[in-house]
Amino acid sequence: MYSYIIKRLLLMVPTAILATVIVFTLMKIAPGDPATAILADLDVISQAQEALDEAAIRKEFGLDKPLPIQYLNWLGSVSRLEFGESIWQYRPVRDIILERLPRTMELGALIVLLTVLWAVPAGILAAVKHNRMTDNVLGVLSIGGLSVPNIWLGTLVILGLSRYLGWIPSLRWTPLFEDPVANLSMLIFPAMIVSSSAGASIMRMTRSQMLEVLKEDYIRTARAKGVGSNLVLIRHALRNALLPVVTQFGGLMGVMVTGVVVTETIFQVPGMGRAMVEAIGNRDYPIIQGLILINIALILVVNLAVDLLYSIIDPRVRVQ
């Protein structure tokens, strides 16, 4: 297993380098320019003065250099885990990431926890009650969770909470260990909204895999031997149905980092998603590039963890 982990880590190196090339190229061909965005907020006196100011801004942030030199300079900062300096905040991108990443990870962990608590049991129940009323109701709910956009559902939740309960999202972030109640009250609603859509796909996957496994011969043999129904479901059926579900959970955890942009923005959660939205609006390319690279790195780590988890769930799976 150790050799497998080392091989996977070594394979991440060319993947990461290719990711830096793609991210840097996309940022350079995207419409807009940081210097122009900065000057748009300034009261310039004349076109000549504006040109001088734009040249000064480009020189200050190294935007006047050839693209290969800009890429190498940025790659050097990435290798030192600095990711450059924010054009608007005048802070190292590393500090911004270290500030925002734990908040998004906390929200993501809560989403995964809620999804595990309701989606997997609901999928098992739907499989056991196949073609009955319970299965039909859960099927309708899962289709609704997949169909309703998070932006619409989040807006509706805020409208209902503010109108009937007098609750609106707090503009001030409260750390978990400072005030757990205030922290949870800020995260629980966005977590529930994302979990309703992400968990719907998990529930349907669990249901389909359980239905397939429950038809296997070894399930009938276990029942013929007098093994209890709960033991058959948990020990024999669920464990053998978990591999595709775990794979989908791996994709879900990647989405937790990149896909909570809308909910973080609606509920004023100052995480990586909201930082991405603010950076795009300000054309703050160093922040955008740094956040995308961190997302890619986290997804690579999650995929490695999922592959290792396969061998724990099913001993027949061996990583080499």
One domain, residues 108 and 67: no
Contact by Cβ (8 Å): 260, 266: no
| Global pTM value | 0.83
One domain, residues 161 and 15: no
Contact by Cβ (8 Å): 39, 53: yes
Q: What is the average pLDDT score of the chain?
A: 82
What b-and-e string marks burial along 13-23, b requiring 16 or more CB atoms within 10 Å of the CB?
eeeeeebbeeb
- CATH code of residue 297: 1.10.3720.10
Residue 236 CA to residue 54 CA, distance in Å, equals 67
One domain, residues 161 and 12: no
> Cβ of 41: how many Cβ atoms within 10 Å?
8
- Condensed to tens digits (0 to 9), the pLDDT of residues 57-102 reads 777 777 778 888 888 888 888 888 888 888 778 888 889 888 888 8
- Condensed to tens digits (0 to 9), the pLDDT of residues 210-238 reads 998 888 888 888 888 887 877 888 877 88
17 CB-near residues (< 8 Å, 6+ apart): none
Q: If we measure between CA atoms, which residue out of 265, 255, 256, 267 comes closest to residue 183? A: 267
- Condensed to tens digits (0 to 9), the pLDDT of residues 23-56 reads 888 877 777 666 666 666 655 445 455 556 667 7
**What residue numbers bound the domain in which 293 lies?**
103-313
- Condensed to tens digits (0 to 9), the pLDDT of residues 232-275 reads 888 778 888 888 888 888 777 666 655 577 788 888 888 888 88
320 CB-near residues (< 8 Å, 6+ apart): 3, 4
Residue 154, pLDDT > 60, answer yes
Residue 117 CA to residue 184 CA, distance in Å, equals 17
